[in-house]
Chain A
Amino acid sequence: MTEEKFYKEELKILKEDFNDLKTYLDEIRNILPVSVCTLSSFWVIVDINKATETLTGYRPLEIIGQPINFILQKKQELEKIKEKAEKEEKIVVEETLLTLKNKKEIPVSISMVGRKDREGNLIGYFLSITDTTETKKYQNRLEKGTKALEESRSALMNMLEDIEGARREAEEERNKTFAIIQNFVDGLLFFDKENNLSLINPQAEVFFDIKRSDIIGKPIFELSTFPTLGPLTILLGREVRGVFRKELPIKEHLTLEVSTVPMVSGEEKLGNLVILHDITREKMIERMKTEFVSLSAHQLRTPLSAIKWTLRMLLDGDLGEITKEQKEYIGKTYESNERMIDLINDLLNVTRIEEGRYLYEPTLTDFQAIVQFVINSFKEEIKKKRIKFEFKKTEEKLPEVKVDVEKMRLAVQNLLNNAISYTPSGGEVTISLKYDKDKIEVAVKDTGIGIPQDQQERVFSKFFRATNAIRKETKGTGLGLYIAKNIIEAHGGKIWFESKEDKGSTFYFTLPVEKRFEEFLKRL
């Protein structure tokens, strides 16, 4: 073989190797999923692989020979890339936009490496482009997700804060309520639905001179073993009965007014609150007032008696003869004095009622006799006024009732006195008795002036006199019905009335019959 032939042969082999290598490289380039462009040193696209065709939509002929800004149109970024490329070996741009053939822009990341020849001179660049649309989408989704998560987190935090706020508010409210209960001027006790004491405030501790720790949680019947609590437990009973403004003397210088309030939440019964209001001072003032009235009334009686007796003796001629005119005047003065005495007596009765020492030893009595006694005392008056009077007794004899005879007479007297006084001459007054199992009923009916509708509510109040009654009859203290009502009620009875102005009034009252006592007597 000649030398020339040898070289030719070598060259041929080299050419073949080179072609193989080129094909190999082309194949590799074309199966790469990443888009790769080859750029000249003047930033002109000189070659692209298959992936670039697919990505950009350009055929190689359409893109080769174009400057780089043909596809990377963001001018500023491009300048930066070019600047960097002179200094650095490899440039990576995470985010830029690639302009496709269809003019759409898609997010991509690019990386670039310089190409050098054997002498190390820069002869161009390799540019690889990665489509980040999917990544971007994913990132967006992730961002959105993160944001939503952030939002729900803060919402959750807000909710937690709200709950905390509500809790704090509830606690504050609880503390406030507790402070109110602790510092309340009234004593407070709370019995739960099993009637165990579940709350007592300091004021109640003071009232009963007792320590909270000694009685809390105990059932009410056990509390009666504490002497100071005795009266209260008797009043409330084992099951904390309903009580409204009941006066309860606890010890000397302490009187409480007791009320119970059932506590209910929706349908559920929680228990009973017992309110203890200190009325010691009120009671003292009331007593002083009563004593004052009582004392002055007593003091007034002496001179009134002296006047009464003097006038009487003058009238009777015991102190010498007087003229007819003198007699008339003295007679009228005597009547005025009698009215003053009535008023004083009524006032004394009222003060006794208010002092609570009114009834005196009730005894079993024939009630009809009491009524008859009162009627007898009005006989003259009835005759004088030509009143048609009727007393309707029961067919059977009335059972005996347990009464304070004097007081009961006074009550009946007040009712009959009103009926006669406020009935014009020639009118009718009827007293009827009825008996019904466990009570007797008395009715005093008249055809008098009646009580105006708008004043009927006040009929039994102290010093009340109806306007038409004042017009008709200047006498009258306004205490009669108040006294009668108190007497009847002190005997366990009831009093009420029906009335129509200009037609008349009927006053009714009942008295309980003490059956058991009666039966007891029969057995003897």
Chain B
Amino acid sequence: MAKKILLIEDEQIMFDLLQKKLRGEGYEVSIAKDGEEGLRAMREVKPDLILLDIVMPKIGGFEVMEEMQKEPELKKIPIIVISNSGQPVELDRAQKFGARDWLIKTEFDPQEVIDKVVKQIGK
């Protein structure tokens, strides 16, 4: 059975591209366009991995992680953060909230995202 990935990202072009890339690699991808939708989706879908943006409308990435920490079911899901910036302060905070990895969009290619996903949950 294909691994399920939840992509929480507000920028259409970004989730379009990522979705295409991930599906091409054989993953099952669902999309949430903000944090609120994301939290709802993860309870429904129960994904194997979450790709999470930080700056989003309504609920941001950090708040999503904070919420997930409160629920044992959600806490177990590995997270890879995909963000526009990568300040050390932010990295530390994300790590504290259980993020497994961190990607800065301008510094990584879609292929490298796949590599990181594979590293976390395999093909």
Nearest CB of chain B from residue A482's CB, rounded to whole Å: 20
Q: Are B111 and A301 in contact, CB atoms less than 8 angstroms apart?
A: no
B21 is an interface residue with CB less than 8 A from chain A = yes
B11 is an interface residue with CB less than 8 A from chain A = yes
19 A/B residue pairs, CB under 8 Å, sorted by A: A298-B84, A298-B85, A301-B84, A301-B85, A302-B11, A305-B14, A305-B106, A306-B13, A306-B17, A308-B106, A309-B17, A309-B110, A310-B13, A312-B109, A312-B111, A313-B20, A313-B21, A318-B24, A406-B88
Q: A301-B105, A361-B88 are in contact. Are A306 and B14 (CB under 8 A)?
A: yes
Q: Are B84 and A302 in contact, CB atoms less than 8 angstroms apart?
A: yes
Nearest CB of chain B from residue A66's CB, rounded to whole Å: 135
Q: Are B89 and A360 in contact, CB atoms less than 8 angstroms apart?
A: yes
Q: A302-B11, A318-B20, A361-B88 are in contact. Are A312 and B110 (CB under 8 A)?
A: yes
Chain A interface, DSSP helix/strand/loop, else mixed: helix
Cα-based distance from A312 to B24 in the complex (angstroms):
15
Q: A308-B106, A309-B105, A344-B106 are in contact. Are A316 and B111 (CB under 8 A)?
A: yes
A304 is an interface residue with CB less than 8 A from chain B = yes
Cα-based distance from A313 to B22 in the complex (angstroms):
12
Q: Which residues, 358 to 407 on A, are CB-close (under 8 Å) to B?
A: 360-361, 404, 406
Look across to chain B and name the residue whose beta carbon is closest to the beta carbon of A304: B106
Q: Which residues, 1 to 53 on B, are CB-close (under 8 Å) to A?
A: 11, 13-14, 17-18, 20-21, 24
Task: Count residues of B near A (Cβ-Cβ below 8 Å).
Answer: 19
Contact of B110 among A298, A318, A345 (CB under 8 A): A318
Residues of B within 8 A of A304 (CB): 106
- Other A-B pairs, 6, CB within 8 Å; known A305-B84, A318-B110, A341-B107: A298-B84, A298-B85, A304-B106, A306-B11, A308-B109, A345-B106
Contact of A309 among B14, B24, B85 (CB under 8 A): B14
Q: Which residues, 278 to 306 on A, are CB-close (under 8 Å) to B?
A: 298, 301-302, 304-306
A319 is an interface residue with CB less than 8 A from chain B = yes
Q: Which residues, 55 to 103 on B, are CB-close (under 8 Å) to A?
A: 84-85, 87-89
Residues of B within 8 A of A298 (CB): 84-85
Residues of A within 8 A of B88 (CB): 360-361, 404, 406
Look across to chain B and name the residue whose beta carbon is closest to the beta carbon of A348: B85
Q: Are A305 and B105 in contact, CB atoms less than 8 angstroms apart?
A: yes
Q: Are B106 and A341 in contact, CB atoms less than 8 angstroms apart?
A: yes
Of the four ranges (under 10, 10 to 19, 20 to 34, 35 or more), the interface on chain A belongs to 20 to 34
Look across to chain A and name the residue whose beta carbon is closest to the beta carbon of B17: A309
Look across to chain B and name the residue whose beta carbon is closest to the beta carbon of A294: B85
Residues of A within 8 A of B17 (CB): 306, 309-310, 313
Q: Are B109 and A309 in contact, CB atoms less than 8 angstroms apart?
A: yes
Cα-based distance from A216 to B17 in the complex (angstroms):
71
Residues of B within 8 A of A319 (CB): 20
7 nearest A-B pairs in the assembled complex, by CB-CB distance? A305-B105, A360-B88, A306-B13, A301-B84, A341-B106, A312-B109, A309-B17
Look across to chain A and name the residue whose beta carbon is closest to the beta carbon of B109: A312
Look across to chain A and name the residue whose beta carbon is closest to the beta carbon of B113: A309
Cα-based distance from A306 to B13 in the complex (angstroms):
6
Nearest CB of chain A from residue B14's CB, rounded to whole Å: 6
Look across to chain A and name the residue whose beta carbon is closest to the beta carbon of B89: A360
Nearest CB of chain B from residue A338's CB, rounded to whole Å: 9
Nearest CB of chain B from residue A413's CB, rounded to whole Å: 13
Nearest CB of chain B from residue A310's CB, rounded to whole Å: 6
Cα-based distance from A312 to B110 in the complex (angstroms):
7
Nearest CB of chain A from residue B77's CB, rounded to whole Å: 24
Q: Are B110 and A313 in contact, CB atoms less than 8 angstroms apart?
A: yes
Residues of B within 8 A of A302 (CB): 11, 84, 105
Residues of A within 8 A of B13 (CB): 306, 309-310
Task: Flag A307-326 by CB within 8 Å of B: 1 or 0 each.
Answer: 01110110010110000000
Nearest CB of chain A from residue B122's CB, rounded to whole Å: 21
Cα-based distance from A319 to B89 in the complex (angstroms):
36
Q: Are A301 and B106 in contact, CB atoms less than 8 angstroms apart?
A: yes
Cα-based distance from A302 to B85 in the complex (angstroms):
10
Nearest CB of chain B from residue A455's CB, rounded to whole Å: 31
Cα-based distance from A345 to B105 in the complex (angstroms):
12
Look across to chain B and name the residue whose beta carbon is closest to the beta carbon of A407: B88
Residues of A within 8 A of B85 (CB): 298, 301, 348
Q: A305-B84, A306-B13, A360-B89 are in contact. Are A318 and B21 (CB under 8 A)?
A: yes
Nearest CB of chain A from residue B12's CB, rounded to whole Å: 9
Residues of A within 8 A of B21 (CB): 313, 318
Cα-based distance from A313 to B17 in the complex (angstroms):
8
Nearest CB of chain A from residue B53's CB, rounded to whole Å: 10
Residues of A within 8 A of B18 (CB): 309
Task: Flag A340-366 by CB within 8 Å of B: 1 or 0 each.
Answer: 010011001000000000001100000
Cα-based distance from A344 to B20 in the complex (angstroms):
28
Cα-based distance from A348 to B17 in the complex (angstroms):
26
Residues of B within 8 A of A316 (CB): 110-111
Residues of B within 8 A of A301 (CB): 84-85, 105-106
